[in-house]
Chain A
Amino acid sequence: MSAIQPADTSREMTGAEIVVQALIDQGVDTIFGYPGGAVLPIYDALFAEGRIKHILVRHEQAAVHAAEGYARSSGKVGVVLVTSGPGATNAVTGITDAMMDSIPLVVITGQVPTHLIGTDAFQECDTVGITRHCSKHNYLIKETARLASALHEAFYIARSGRPGPVVIDIPKDVQIMRGPYAAPTAAGHKTYKPQTKGDQTAIETAVEMLAAAERPILYTGGGVINSGPHATTLLRALAALTGAPVTSTLMGLGTMEHRHKQFLGMLGMHGSYEANMAMNRCDLMLCIGARFDDRVTGRLDAFSPHSKKIHIDIDRSSINKTVRVDLGIVGDVGSVLEDMLALWKARGHAAQDLEPWWADIAGWRARDCFGFKQQGPALLPQKAIQRLWEKTRDQAPIISTEVGQHQMWAAQHFGFDAPNKWLTSGGLGTMGYGLPAAIGAQLANPGALVIDIAGEASIQMNIQELGTATQYRLPVKIFIINNEYMGMVRQWQELNHGGRYSESYSDSLPDFVKLAEAYGWKGITINGPDDLDAGIDAMLAHDGPVVVDCRVTKLANCFPMIPSGAAHTDMMLEGEAPPTSEPDEDAKALV
C-alpha cells in the first residue's frame, strides 16, 4: 500500500474525512451503523464529530431497517455505515427491503484494501456483486479522488425518480489515502435524470376519461407518499373535485384520512370487501403511484375486467408490467396530479353524478367486512388493535409493524390520517423490520409516540435492538399481538394444507416482561379483555420504552381474504364457511 500522502491543499482530506464531510454537506445528522476492521478509518473520523449522531445498532440488518424507518417517517435519505464481509452481508436483507419498498438510503460499506480485492482476504466479500440486483445502484470506489463525487451522486440517485438504496463500497486504503473534496453541485448525475413532468397530451386524455367515467376509482399507493406531503394534499383535492371513491395499497395508507367518506380502505388480499368489489366493477381505474402487485390484483385474468385503466408512475417499468393499461403517464405523482387538477378546473369539469355508483358501494360496505364478534373469554387481536388506536389516535402515533396477521390487522383496524406515519415492510415482507424501523422513526421524530405492532415470532428476529433503544433513551413501545403461533403461516396451513400446522407453533417463548426488564425496558402483560385498557394506559403513561405482551386468542384468522388463485369477487369474509376441500395445485403454488 502506498504511503499516506501529506495534504498539499486545504481541500485535500483523507477518504474517511471526505465521507464525513460529504454526509455533513448532504444535511445528514444521524447515521446507523456498526464498526469493524474495514471501516475503522471512517469511525475514527466520526470520533468526537459533533455534527453527526451515530446510532450503534446490535446487528447490521437492523441498521438498515432503522435507516428505513428514519427515511420513511421524515422524507429524508437514511444513511447506514457497516464493515466489509459479514457487515455487508448482514445488511443485504435491509437493502433488499428498501429496494422493494422504494426507500431512499445510502449504505456505506467498508471493503478490504484494493490490493487484496479478489484474494479471498479476511472479511472480503463481493459486496457490489451481491448487492447489484438488490440496490438501485452501487459503487466500488477504487480511488479517493472519486469518493466525494460518488457520495454526492449516491444521495441524488437514492432520492430521485423512484427512490431506492444506493450502496457505496469503500476499500480501507481509499479511506486512508488523501484526495480532493468538492461540495455537492446541482448537477446530480451526468446522465441519470428521471422524468418528473408527465406528458401533457396524456394528462389531457386522463382528465377527459376521468370526467366521463360513471364508476371511477382512485387506486393509490406508496408513490403518493414518496412524492412528498404535497402529493397527499393534491390527491385529496382530486378526490374532492371528482367525488370518486379512493382505495389505497398497504404502502399508501395515510394519504386519505381513513374515516373520509370517499375512502374505501385498503385493497388486496386482506383489504376491504368494498375496495376490492369497487376495483372489480369500476369503469375507470386511475392508478396513482401503485404497481399492481400480486397481493393487490389477485387472479390477473379476473382483475377489473371492464375498466379502462390509467397509470401514473415515476417508474416506466411499472407501467404495463403485469396489467396492461389504456394510458400510462410517466412522471412524479405530485407533478402529474397538479397538472390534472389545473386542467380539470380550467375545463370547468364538474363531478359526474356518481349516485348509482355510490349506491353499489354502500351495498358492499354494508357487509361490514372488518367486523368481528367477541366469542369466548380470550382477547381478540382485532379488538386489541382497535383499542390501541382509539387510545392513541389523538397523538397521531407513528406505527411500525412486523410481518404476519398482526400487520394486516393493524392495516385494517388502526386508522391513519396522514402520510409518513405507517411503516411496514410491504414488498419484501421482512419479519424483524418493525423494531429497528420504530427506533429509526423515533430518532427522526423525537417527540412522537412510536409503536411497533409486533407478532411474538417476528419480534424475536431483531429483539437484540432492545439494547439500542435503551442506549439512546428512545421511548419506543412494542405491542406484541401474542397468539403463540406464526399466525399467518398457521392460517395458510389451515386453509391450504388441511390444518397440518407444520413448524408454525411459537414454542419456548421467552418471558417478554423479564426480557424487557433485562434490557432496562418496562414490561407489561395483557392477559385478556379485562386487562386491555389498563395495559394500554400503563404503556402510554411510562415515558421510557415499553414491551407489552398482549396475549390474544390463538387461532383467529385474518379476514377478509382473497384466497390464493382467486378473484376479487371471491373474497372470504369472517364467519363464512372456509373451503371444505384443499385448493388445487395451481392455487397452492401461489404464495
Chain B
Amino acid sequence: MKHAPSEKHTLSIIVDNESGVLARIVGLFSARGYNIDSLTVADVSTDHAVSRITIVTSGPPPVIDQIIAQLDRLVPVHRVLDLTELGPHVEREMALVKVAGTGDKRVEALRLADIFRARPVDTSTNSFVFEVSGSTEKVDQFIALMREVGLVEVARTGVVAIARGAEAA
C-alpha cells in the first residue's frame, strides 16, 4: 500500500481551541510516521473556541485517507477537510525576506520585489525586509532570486488555505 506515488494534500482541521490539541495532532503525525510539510494554526472564531489548523502533508492516497481518518477520531477535532480533494481552493503563504547589499544589488532587489509584488516593510541603508505572499511556488521563487542579490534570512508562515465560493466548506 505504501508503494503508490506520493501526493501532496492540504488539510484543513477545525479543532477545539484547548491546550494540548496541537500536541495531540503533531504527536499523531510523528507516532504514525506521517509527513508534515507545513503547519499553521490560529484561533478563528469570535469566542476563541475554535482553531483552524492547516497541514500540508504528503503520502500515497491510502496513507492520506488514513491520516484523515486518524485525525477525525480525535475527540477535540470537529472536522477534517481535504482541500486538495474537495477542489477549488486558495492557498497562500507569507514570507519575510531579509536581503543586504548596496549599489546594483540593492536596485536589483527592489526591481525583483516589484515584479513579485513584495513590499519592503523595513529598510536600512544597506538592507531590506520584504513581505511577500502567494503560492508556495511563488514564495520559493522569490527567495531563490533574492539569494543572488544578498539573502540574509527568511521567516515563512507555512500554507493557509480556504475553499473558494460563498459556502463554508
Q: Which of chain B's residues has its CB closest to A157's CB?
A: B75
Contact of B75 with A132 in the complex, beta carbons under 8 Å: no
Chain B residues near A133: list those with CB within 8 A: 24, 27-28, 31
Contact of B65 with A320 in the complex, beta carbons under 8 Å: yes
Q: Please list 13 pairs of residues, one from A and one from B, whose beta carbons are closer than 8 Å in the complex, sorted by A's number.
A: A133-B31, A138-B20, A140-B19, A189-B75, A191-B76, A315-B73, A316-B69, A316-B72, A317-B70, A317-B72, A319-B69, A320-B66, A321-B69
A-B residue pairs, 6 tightest by C-beta: A317-B69, A137-B75, A316-B69, A192-B75, A317-B70, A191-B78
Contact of B20 with A320 in the complex, beta carbons under 8 Å: no
* B residues 45-97 touching A (CB-CB < 8 Å): 62, 65-66, 69-70, 72-76, 78
Q: How far apart sit A341 and B66, CA to CA, in the bound complex (Å)?
A: 30
**Interface size range on A against B:** 20 to 34
Q: How far apart sit A162 and B20, CA to CA, in the bound complex (Å)?
A: 22
Q: Is B115 an interface residue (CB 8 A)?
A: no
Q: Is B1 an interface residue (CB 8 A)?
A: yes
Chain B residues near A315: list those with CB within 8 A: 73
Q: Is A324 an interface residue (CB 8 A)?
A: yes
Contact of B20 with A317 in the complex, beta carbons under 8 Å: no
Q: Which of A132, A189, A191, A316 contacts B73 (CB 8 A)?
A: A316
How far is the CB of A179 from the nearest CB of chain B, in Å? 18
Contact of A317 with B75 in the complex, beta carbons under 8 Å: no
Q: How far apart sit A137 and B24, CA to CA, in the bound complex (Å)?
A: 9
Q: How far apart sit A547 and B107, CA to CA, in the bound complex (Å)?
A: 88
Chain A residues near B16: list those with CB within 8 A: 191
Q: Is A128 an interface residue (CB 8 A)?
A: yes
Contact of A136 with B23 in the complex, beta carbons under 8 Å: no
* A residues 296-321 touching B (CB-CB < 8 Å): 315-317, 319-321
A316-B73, A317-B69 as given contacts; A324 in contact with B62, CB under 8 Å? yes
Chain B residues near A157: list those with CB within 8 A: 75
Chain B residues near A132: list those with CB within 8 A: 20, 23-24, 27
Task: Tell me which of A133, A138, A161, A324 has the highest count of chain B C-beta atoms within 10 A of its own C-beta.
Answer: A133
B 16-49 binary contact with A (CB < 8 Å = 1; else 0): 1001100110011001000000000000000000
Q: How far apart sit A320 and B69, CA to CA, in the bound complex (Å)?
A: 10
Q: Number of contacting residues on B, CB 8 A?
A: 20
Q: Which of chain B's residues has its CB closest to A162's CB?
A: B73
Q: How far apart sit A157 and B77, CA to CA, in the bound complex (Å)?
A: 13
Q: Is A377 an interface residue (CB 8 A)?
A: no
Q: How far apart sit A322 and B16, CA to CA, in the bound complex (Å)?
A: 30
Q: How far apart sit A374 and B31, CA to CA, in the bound complex (Å)?
A: 47
Q: Which of B23, B62, B66, B74 contacts A129 (CB 8 A)?
A: B23
How far is the CB of A575 from the nearest CB of chain B, in Å? 37
Q: Which of chain B's residues has its CB closest to A138's CB?
A: B20
Task: Tell me which of B16, B31, B66, B75 has the highest count of chain A C-beta atoms within 10 A of its own C-beta.
Answer: B75
Q: How far apart sit A191 and B62, CA to CA, in the bound complex (Å)?
A: 26
Q: Which of B20, B65, B74, B75 contacts A128 (CB 8 A)?
A: B20
Q: How far apart sit A322 and B78, CA to CA, in the bound complex (Å)?
A: 25
Chain B residues near A316: list those with CB within 8 A: 69, 72-73
Interface residues, chain A, CB within 8 Å of chain B? 128-129, 132-133, 136-138, 140, 157, 161-162, 189, 191-192, 315-317, 319-322, 324
Chain A residues near B69: list those with CB within 8 A: 316-317, 319, 321
Chain B residues near A192: list those with CB within 8 A: 75
Chain A residues near B78: list those with CB within 8 A: 191
Q: How far apart sit A316 and B65, CA to CA, in the bound complex (Å)?
A: 10
Contact of A320 with B62 in the complex, beta carbons under 8 Å: yes
How far is the CB of A107 from the nearest CB of chain B, in Å? 15
Q: Which of chain B's residues has its CB closest to A128's CB?
A: B20
Contact of B20 with A140 in the complex, beta carbons under 8 Å: yes
Chain A residues near B72: list those with CB within 8 A: 316-317
A129-B23, A191-B16, A324-B1 as given contacts; A136 in contact with B66, CB under 8 Å? no
Q: Which of chain B's residues has its CB closest to A317's CB?
A: B69
Q: Which of chain B's residues has its CB closest to A191's CB?
A: B78
Chain A residues near B27: list those with CB within 8 A: 132-133
Q: How far apart sit A486 and B19, CA to CA, in the bound complex (Å)?
A: 44
Q: Which of chain A's residues has its CB closest to B65's CB?
A: A320
Chain A residues near B23: list those with CB within 8 A: 129, 132
Q: Which of A138, A162, A191, A321 contacts B66 (CB 8 A)?
A: A321
B 91-126 binary contact with A (CB < 8 Å = 1; else 0): 000000000000000000000000000000000000
Q: What 10 new A-B contacts, CB under 8 Å, besides A132-B20, A136-B75, A191-B76? A: A133-B31, A137-B76, A138-B20, A140-B19, A157-B75, A162-B73, A191-B78, A192-B75, A315-B73, A321-B69
Q: How far apart sit A136 and B76, CA to CA, in the bound complex (Å)?
A: 11
Chain B residues near A317: list those with CB within 8 A: 66, 69-70, 72-73
How far is the CB of A175 from the nearest CB of chain B, in Å? 19
How far is the CB of B2 from the nearest CB of chain A, in Å? 11
Q: How far apart sit A526 and B76, CA to CA, in the bound complex (Å)?
A: 54
How far is the CB of B70 from the nearest CB of chain A, in Å? 5
Q: How far apart sit A317 and B74, CA to CA, in the bound complex (Å)?
A: 11
Chain A residues near B73: list those with CB within 8 A: 161-162, 315-317
How far is the CB of B12 from the nearest CB of chain A, in Å? 16
Q: How far apart sit A315 and B76, CA to CA, in the bound complex (Å)?
A: 16
Q: How far apart sit A140 and B16, CA to CA, in the bound complex (Å)?
A: 15
Q: Which of chain B's residues has its CB closest to A134's CB?
A: B31
Q: Which of chain A's residues has its CB closest to B77's CB?
A: A191
Q: How far apart sit A309 and B64, CA to CA, in the bound complex (Å)?
A: 21
Chain A residues near B24: list those with CB within 8 A: 132-133
Chain B residues near A137: list those with CB within 8 A: 74-76
How far is the CB of A3 from the nearest CB of chain B, in Å? 26
How far is the CB of A134 from the nearest CB of chain B, in Å? 10
Task: Tell me which of B16, B23, B27, B66 has the highest count of chain A C-beta atoms within 10 A of its own C-beta.
Answer: B66
Q: Which of chain A's residues has its CB closest to B1's CB?
A: A324
Q: How far apart sit A255 and B74, CA to CA, in the bound complex (Å)?
A: 29
How far is the CB of A309 from the nearest CB of chain B, in Å? 14
Q: How far apart sit A136 and B78, CA to CA, in the bound complex (Å)?
A: 16
Chain B residues near A161: list those with CB within 8 A: 73
